[in-house]
């Protein structure tokens, strides 16, 4: 399958599970993914160290979940954000996002071809989306283009194990057996949740993604694994 067809298939899959996506996320992560997202927002604000931000862009925004946290954490820290933007190629996801998030501008678009001006955002985030971007290096180049000098990219993603641990069999059992079953029951789309563990297995380790960020012109500022390394938070600055 060529890259374009593979990307279209992934987007169509997200269209199909859009209505149950939030519920499935909460159930499958036991709600802990909310804390991971908040941590990413807090670290970005801490590193950026400013009280006024022109624009925050959430790529592969899905149902807009992370945008809610960007706004909430900014308010708690007394940070003024002029504009929130959500970009996603899935029309189905954006339909849900527009109903849920009334303060952001939502744009249909791909991470590899962001419909945004050069140096227009202080922060770009992507949570559990970079793994689904077929042309990942093109997306990282786009993040670099759209970020202002010194801007921050925040990536939250499932990452492949660097080396096996004593708990690896338990993690693998959950990811390959339990997760697809529960996700399939909630969404009525078993194929979509069988795709998840397979996509993680085909993805990068945390170290490898750090190297790609560095090669794309970013300087790593913060790296934090969660839940035995199943998920990793990356915060990097545009050099």
The pLDDT assigned to 206 comes to: 93
Kindly state whether residue 81 falls inside one of the protein's structural domains.
yes
- Residue 119, exposed/middle/buried by CB under 10 A (0-12, 13-18, 19+)? middle
Higher per-residue pLDDT: 120 or 230? 120
DSSP string, 101-164: -SSSEEEE-BTTB--S-TT-EEEEEEES-GGG-SSHHHHHHHHHHHEEEEEEEEEEEE-B-SS-
Taking residues 181-200, report their average pLDDT.
Answer: 82
Range of the domain at 79: 3-10+30-162+204-238
Percent of the chain with pLDDT over 90: 68
Question: Rounded CA gap, 157 and 165, in Å?
Answer: 20
Q: How many C-beta atoms surround the C-beta of residue 203 within 10 A?
A: 17
Kindly state whether residue 168 falls inside one of the protein's structural domains.
no
The pLDDT assigned to 114 comes to: 98
In the structure, what pLDDT confidence band is assigned to residue 56 with cuts at 50, 70 and 90? very high
The pLDDT assigned to 161 comes to: 78
pTM, entire model: 0.89
- In this structure, of 25-29, 52-56, 79-83, 195-199, the range with the lowest mean pLDDT score is 25-29
Q: Largest Cα–Cα distance of the chain, in whole Å?
A: 48
Kindly state whether residue 54 falls inside one of the protein's structural domains.
yes
pLDDT above 90 for 88: yes
52, 79 in Cβ contact below 8 A? Answer: yes
75: Cβ contacts below 8 Å, ≥ 6 apart: none
The tokens 């269209």 sit on which residue? Answer: 15
Question: Rounded CA gap, 19 and 126, in Å?
Answer: 20
pLDDT above 80 for 171: no
Kindly state whether residue 181 falls inside one of the protein's structural domains.
no
95: Cβ contacts below 8 Å, ≥ 6 apart: 18
CATH number, domain with residue 107 = 3.40.50.150
In the structure, what pLDDT confidence band is assigned to residue 21 with cuts at 50, 70 and 90? confident
Kindly state whether residue 64 falls inside one of the protein's structural domains.
yes
Kindly state whether residue 94 falls inside one of the protein's structural domains.
yes
Q: At 50, list the tokens.
A: 């400013």
Kindly state whether residue 53 falls inside one of the protein's structural domains.
yes
Kindly state whether residue 88 falls inside one of the protein's structural domains.
yes
Q: Into how many domains does the chain fold?
A: 1
């Amino acid at each position: 399958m060529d890259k374009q067809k593979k990307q279209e298939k992934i987007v169509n899959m997200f269209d199909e599970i859009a209505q149950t996506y939030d519920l499935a996320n909460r159930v499958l992560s036991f709600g802990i993914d909310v804390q991971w997202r908040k941590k990413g927002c807090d670290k970005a604000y801490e590193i950026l160290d400013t009280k006024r931000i022109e624009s925050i862009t959430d790529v592969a925004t899905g149902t807009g979940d992370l945008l809610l946290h960007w706004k909430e954490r900014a308010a708690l820290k007394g940070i003024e954000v002029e504009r929130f933007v959500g970009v996603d190629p899935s029309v189905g996801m954006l339909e849900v996002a527009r109903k849920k998030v009334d303060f952001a501008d939502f744009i249909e678009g791909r991470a590899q071809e962001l419909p945004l001006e050069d140096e227009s955002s202080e922060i770009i985030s992507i949570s559990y989306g970079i793994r689904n971007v077929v042309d990942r290096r093109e997306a990282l180049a786009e993040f670099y283009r759209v970020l202002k000098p010194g801007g921050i990219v925040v990536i939250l993603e499932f990452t492949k194990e660097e080396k096996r641990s004593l708990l690896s069999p338990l993690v693998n059992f959950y990811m390959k057996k339990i997760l697809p079953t529960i996700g399939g029951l909630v969404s009525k789309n078993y194929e979509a949740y069988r795709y998840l563990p397979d996509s993680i297995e085909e993805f990068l380790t945390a170290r490898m993604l750090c190297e790609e960020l560095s090669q794309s012109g970013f300087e790593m500022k913060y790296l934090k694994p969660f839940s035995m390394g199943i998920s990793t938070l990356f915060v990097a600055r545009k050099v």
